[in-house]
Every structure is written in structure tokens, then in C-alpha cells.
Amino acid sequence: MGNLRPVLLISLGLLGYMLWIEWQKDYPAPLPQATTEAVSKPLASTSEGKGDLPGGDLPGGDGQQRSADAADLPQPQEPIQAAAGQQPVTAPADGQEVMTAASPTVAVSTDLLSLQITLQGGTVVSAQLLDYPADAADPEIKVNLLEPQGEHLFIAQSGLLSHQSAPNHTALYESSQREYRLADGADELSVPLTWHSADGIQVTKTFVFKRGRYDIEVRHQLENGSAQTWSGSRYDQLQRSVTADQQKRGFANPSSYSFRGIGFYSPQDKFEKIAFDKVAKEPVNKTFSGGWLAMIQHYFFAAWIPATDEQATYSTQVISPSGGGLPRYIVRDVSPVQSAIPGSHVEFDSRLYLGPKLQDHLSQVAPGLEHTVNYGIFTVFSKPLFWLLSHIHKLVGNWGWSIVLLTVLVKAVFFKLTETQYKSMARMRKLQPRIEQLKERYGDDRQRMSQAMMELYKTEKANPLSGCLPMLVQIPVFIALYWVLLESVELRQAPFILWVTNLSVRDPYFVLPLLNASFMIATQRLTPMAGMDPLQAKMMSLMPVVFAVMFAFFPAGLVLYWATNAGLSLAQQVYITRKIAAGDK
């Protein structure tokens, strides 16, 4: 048996792993058609502007404003007793609907964000990330993380819950301005929205933006001007719809490789993630402090982060609108109840993160937030590789050359292992004429042929399997780097040289895939084929073609790594083969 059989098997295993990923992406589980039967009835708003959901049941699947059943309102953390002589507010009866008009918005601009906040509920319905063009070809159009309505609904809601007067995300706030902008030289911008009730309750909902930050402080300050003690909670929630198109996966769609779904973090259980198609089957209801919730997608995410010492209750919910449309997925936190006696005030604080997965900064925003970068089971390898890659980038200033230099360093680390592999292959190549003689001598007697070959290997101290271990050791590193290059927002739309203007999409002229294939073909010519049956030999000859076709649709950054690694491997093998042929050990 030739020593290329294990090499072939490992290569096919790696190819099979990548194809398995693609199969999972191309054929995801169907989206659930969930109902709200298991959801307890929510409290209705007692605000002046009650009855109106932001944007008109923005989750309407047809992109039009729809009537709402208020099913996206949460329950308080615990039952709240109404004051003496006051009737508790109840939820609308099943099927009761309230019509909604479009809500006016407040525009907010900072150095990093451009937001739209509705006066109805103070809901954040649009979040443009000013440093991230949606398309490298048109840098004026920025990534918009949130969408106010339609099939791509994604909004960030918050409010107060009480059996007394309190503004939830259906309440109508007031604002003295319709536009706010972070002034040059200023480090902070406050955007206050106010709400008041007829019985003397006043709430100021303030968004506080800071220069250079994607996290926004959201404060609810309630002044109790009524004659009775007020009790209630704060809630934060993210709500979105997921279309069939967003579930499609494939080589041509880099974002399809990354996790899309809900994430929770707690100091006890660390990071937990739930795909959208699992939410209905695996609902969450947990209480802990020091955590956060998020909705995650490729490169970017939104997260609500309660105060560190707050014992918040986290839960998920799936709603199918009564009028049809896509399911809406909700993840929320609810704070403990606080009270304010007449003439006093109470404040609720949390933070909203809307931005990219910047790995060097996320841990500074909140503990564990760096887990939103999804490296999967290869995190133990991927994180050190990204750390090294980012430090190389600080020196050279180009992510493409950083990948090349990282490949050289990885190759240097495994140099001795691959040297053993190539020495074995070189010795096998040197023995090839004698193996051909054995084939002629024994003809079709495969048993005697195998025995003679084993004796030859033993005499010449050649082991056809000695090249297998180095490849096995390197495969986790290869796959880990694969995830680093796919998941890191730092490499998104990063240019390299000449025709490679975006490392996060495929090579437009397929130069890198063809270069990688040429290196593979040249390597094959240095590889001994003796002892390999015709089927194996044919499969080996097809490997460069298979990888060239597969890599034609992979991000250029990943193919750059593979091509660089293949070129270095070829150079190393040529050197060792010539050394062995000259009689050196």
C-alpha cells in the first residue's frame, strides 16, 4: 500500500467536513409556525397614548402596517398588588385588536451610529453603523442592523410594567427635538423622552450616547406625583422576524456560515445560544444577575445588558400574528419590582449594544460579550490565532499580509512535523523503482506483494504512515483559522493587493483558487504513487480540481491562507526531496 492512502483519507475527511457544513446550511430545519397559546396574557398600557404598538404591529409579514393584539407585552417579574380602591389593569380579551398609526421618530447621530427612535414606546427601529458600508462598492450606504417593519423586522424595545400608570412600548412619549447630534468635541449626548399620566406619574426615558461607543445607556426615571405608592418593573426586549432567505446557506453567501439566533450569558452557565428554529421547542425562563441577552448574526449583533447587580428574569417567546405573517422571535429581561412612595422617584437602568463583534473591545463592554464571536468547538484554537493575527496586523497594517505572515508562523511551528512527513514521502519516492520491480515479480499475487513491500519498508526504514500524524495535528488549526477568517468583522471588506479588494468575499478573478490548485498539482508530482490502486490514484488527481472549484466560492482571505500554506509546503517538500535524493538523512 502506498503512503498516499492516509493522506487521501485525511483530505477527503477535511473536504467532507466542509461539505457537511454546507449541507447543514443548505437544508436547515423549517421555521416553526408557533402560536401564542403558551404565552400568558400581557398587561395593557395605562398610558395617555395606550393602544398603539410601534409602527403598527411592525412585525407584519407583508411589510404593511397591521393591527396588533399586544401579545409582545411581557408580564411583570412578580404579581403587583393594586393600591386600595384602584382596579388593576387587565390584558385585552383574546382577539381584541387596536389599530395603529405610524409613529413619529427622533433621529440621533453620533460618531458611530445613526438611529431612529419612535416616540411610540421609545423603540429603536433603525441603527445604521457609520463605519460599516453595506457594500464595499457603495460606501455611502451603511449597514442597518435594525428594521422597523416587514419581513426583516428587527427592533429593540423597552418600557415599564405595572398595574398602575406606566409607559410600556405602546405608550406615546414627547420630545422637545426631532433630531439630536453629538457635537464636535463633545463626549456625551443625552436624548430625553417624557411621558406623564393624568394621575401624576411622570417618566423620563433617556438615551445616553458616548463618543466611540456602541453601547447606549437607557434610563427610566419615574417621578411619583400621585397619591399612592407606585410599584413596577422595567423590561428590555429584542424582537425580530426571520425569513426563508435569511435561512439560506451556501458558498456564495459568507454570512450563512455564522450563527444566527439568540444568545444568553450568565456568570454561572456562561454563554448559551439558541437557534431561532429551536426557540419554540426550548423556551428559556431563567433568573440571574450579571448577565445579558442578545440576537446575533454574522459580524454584528444587538444586546440588552441590565445592571450588573440586577437579578433579572430572562425569557424567550415566539408569536405568530393572528392575521398571518412570519413568526416573531422575542428575547427579553424583566427587572425586579421597585416602589416609589408619593413624592419620590425610582430609576431603572440598562444598556443597549448595537454594533459589530469587535473582539478587542467586547469584554470591556460587558463580561462574556466576546462570546458573541462564534468559533464553535474550535474556540480554543481560534482565539489565540486571532490574537496573533491582530497583533501582526498592528505591525503591517494590511489584513492580507497579516494572513500570509500568520501562515508562515504556523508553518514554522509545524516545520519539524511536516519535515518528518516529507522525509517519509521522499524515501518512498526513492523506493518507487524497487516497488515497481516487486509488482512485476509478483503480478496479481497481492498477498505476496504486500509482504514483500513490508519487508522492503522495514529494511529501508521507511514508514508509509509516518506522514499521517503531522496532517492530523494540523487539521484542527486549519479549521480554527477557517472560522477566524469567516467570523472576524475586522476582516470584513478588508483589501489586500491589486485585484483582491475585499478579503471577506470570493476572489473576483479566481486567481487564488487557481494558484492553490497549481501548488497542489505540483505537490502531487513529487508524491510517490507506487502501491496505490487506480481508483485512489484517480481520486488524488481530482483533488486539486475539487478544491479549486470549492475555493472559488470561499472568501478570498481563507483561500489566501490555503494558497500560502500550499506554496510553503511545496517549497519545503522540494527541498527535502532533493536532500533525500542526494543521499542526506
Of 324, 340, 374, which residue sits at a domain end?
A: 374
* H or E stretch at 161: strand 154-161
Q: Is residue 377 classed as helix, strand or coil in its secondary structure? A: helix
- 211-257 residue pLDDT tens: 999 999 999 999 999 999 999 999 999 999 987 655 554 444 445 56
Angle at 246 between CA 59 and CA 478, to 5 degrees: 145
Are 296 and 411 within one domain? Answer: no
Three-state SS for 384-445 is HHHHHHHHHHHHHCCHHHHHHHHHHHHHHHCHHHHHHHHHHHHHHHHHHHHHHHHHHHHCCC
In a domain, 390, yes or no: yes
Say which residue the cell 463618543 belongs to: 211
Are 353 and 435 within one domain? Answer: no
Q: Comparing C-alpha atoms, which of 274, 236, 280 is closest to residue 38? A: 280
Domain limits for position 111: 31-68+98-374
Between the alpha carbon of residue 545 and those of residues 94, 514, 542, 562, the distances in Å are: 61, 9, 5, 14
| Per-residue confidence (pLDDT) for residue 468, from 0 to 100 | 58
In a domain, 269, yes or no: yes
| Per-residue confidence (pLDDT) for residue 264, from 0 to 100 | 93
| Per-residue confidence (pLDDT) for residue 244, from 0 to 100 | 62
In a domain, 91, yes or no: no
Are 197 and 322 within one domain? Answer: yes
| C-alpha 285: how far from chain center | 23
Are 555 and 418 within one domain? Answer: yes
Are 350 and 413 within one domain? Answer: no
For the chain, which residues score pLDDT lower than 70? 1-70, 75-102, 244-257, 322-324, 418-430, 443, 460-474, 526-541, 577, 579-585
| Per-residue confidence (pLDDT) for residue 202, from 0 to 100 | 96
| Per-residue confidence (pLDDT) for residue 535, from 0 to 100 | 62
| Per-residue confidence (pLDDT) for residue 204, from 0 to 100 | 97
Are 62 and 184 within one domain? Answer: yes
Are 424 and 539 within one domain? Answer: yes
How far the first Cα of the chain sits from its last, in Å, is 23
Are 357 and 393 within one domain? Answer: no
Angle at 488 between CA 485 and CA 491, to 5 degrees: 75
Domain containing residue 175: CATH number: 2.70.98.90
Are 358 and 393 within one domain? Answer: no
In a domain, 84, yes or no: no
Of 339, 374, 409, which residue sits at a domain end?
A: 374
| Per-residue confidence (pLDDT) for residue 355, from 0 to 100 | 96
In a domain, 78, yes or no: no
In a domain, 93, yes or no: no
Are 497 and 387 within one domain? Answer: yes
In a domain, 563, yes or no: yes
| Mean pLDDT over the full length of the chain | 77
Q: Please state the domain count of the chain.
A: 2
Of 374, 395, 414, which residue sits at a domain end?
A: 374
Give the span between the Cα atoms of 335 and 411, in whole angstroms. 51
In a domain, 81, yes or no: no
Are 12 and 51 within one domain? Answer: no
Give the span between the Cα atoms of 302 and 294, in whole angstroms. 6
| Per-residue confidence (pLDDT) for residue 187, from 0 to 100 | 95
| 145 exposure class (CB count in 10 Å sphere: 0-12, 13-18, 19+) | buried
User: pTM for the complete prediction?
Assistant: 0.77
Are 45 and 175 within one domain? Answer: yes
